[in-house]
Amino acid sequence: MIKRRVMEEGIFRFHPKCTQQGITHLSFADDLFLFSTADPYSVQILKECFDEFARCSGLWPNQGKSSVFFGNVSYDARVLIQNILDFNVGVLPVWYLGVPLISTALWVNDCKPLVQKVRDKIESWENKWLNYAGRVQLATSVLLSMQVYRSSIFLLPITVTKQIEKLIRGFIWSGKDASRGKAKVSWKDVCCPKQEGGLDLRSLRCWNKALMVYHIWNIVSDNRSLWVKWVHEYRIK
């Protein structure tokens, strides 16, 4: 899914000579991803092209911020390629644009920073004097919005959504000290609209599913975006 965000806001290219189209590079803002087969000859050609571009444009790579990532490559090939590129070797999965670059489903450990971010916000000193109405407003406008970005890219594990909702629930009913008191109303009722007796809070699980369905709608309606074109070309065919 991270490829979707990069392709929607950046640029991607297909190799014109490949019998099966493949992404050769991705660019986003001032970042550039270059892809190559893991053999020294291909990497050398890639390096020469990149050096020629740098000489013409004056844009040289920052050696300290540039990395090379390997996938299913032998040790000998890695050594040769690293000598050609002279970049630091990165370890996958790497975080980019706030999410991990992974090809599998999101795991609970991958979401620990998100849960900790919500916890830190609740435990910050500037929130401890809020009354009940203020805590509800904060939960609606801030705490429940902190996960929207990641929820729009991945389907969050149920354990993670439960952990975040538990923190928010304790904060609403008990303030900063979530260990005091108990929930007065079930969380399901709290998430109902105000006209139905709830507080109009969002269920994180339902909100996450809605954001995922939005991507399906873009595919079905053939939205004119690079990511939708990529899905039709590679996945749906």
- For the chain, give every domain's residue range: 2-100, 109-214
Does pTM surpass 0.85? no
pLDDT given at position 208: 92
For the residues of the chain, what is the DSSP string, one character each? Answer: -HHHHHHHHSEEEE-TT-SS--EEEEEETTEEEE---SSHHHHHHHHHHHHHHHHHH-----TTT-EE--SS--HHHHHHHHHHH--EEP-SS-EETTEE--SSPPPTGGGHHHHHHHHHHHHSGGGTT--HHHHHHHHHHTGGGTTHHHHTTS---HHHHHHHHHHHHHHHHHTT-TTSS--SS-HHHHTS-GGGTS--PPPHHHHHHHHHHHHHHHHHTT-SSHHHHHHIIIII-
Tell me what the mean pLDDT of segment 169-179 comes to.
Answer: 72
Q: What confidence tens digit (pLDDT) does each residue in 66-77 have? A: 888 888 888 888
Task: Say how far apart CA 237 and CA 231 lie, in whole Å.
Answer: 8
State the chain's mean pLDDT as an integer: 79
Amino acid at 4: R
Residue 201: name the closest of 136, 118, 130, 134 by CA: 136
pLDDT over 50 at 89, yes or no: yes
Confidence at 19, pLDDT banded by 50, 70, 90: very low
Confidence at 181, pLDDT banded by 50, 70, 90: low
pLDDT over 70 at 176, yes or no: no
Tell me what the mean pLDDT of segment 115-129 comes to.
Answer: 79
Q: Are 73 and 38 in contact (CB under 8 A)?
A: yes
Q: Are 158 and 107 in contact (CB under 8 A)?
A: no
pLDDT given at position 159: 93
Burial class (CB in 10 A: 0-12, 13-18, 19+), 212: middle
Q: What confidence tens digit (pLDDT) does each residue in 29-43 have? A: 777 888 888 888 888
pLDDT given at position 5: 41
Q: What confidence tens digit (pLDDT) does each residue in 137-147 have? A: 888 888 888 88
pLDDT given at position 16: 38
Give the phi and the psi of residue 184 in degrees, each rounded to 5: -85, -30
pLDDT given at position 223: 79
pLDDT given at position 4: 42
Tell me what the mean pLDDT of segment 206-213 comes to.
Answer: 91
Lowest mean pLDDT among 27-36, 85-94, 212-221: 27-36
Confidence at 22, pLDDT banded by 50, 70, 90: low
pLDDT over 50 at 8, yes or no: no
- Residue 4 Cα to chain centre, angstroms: 10
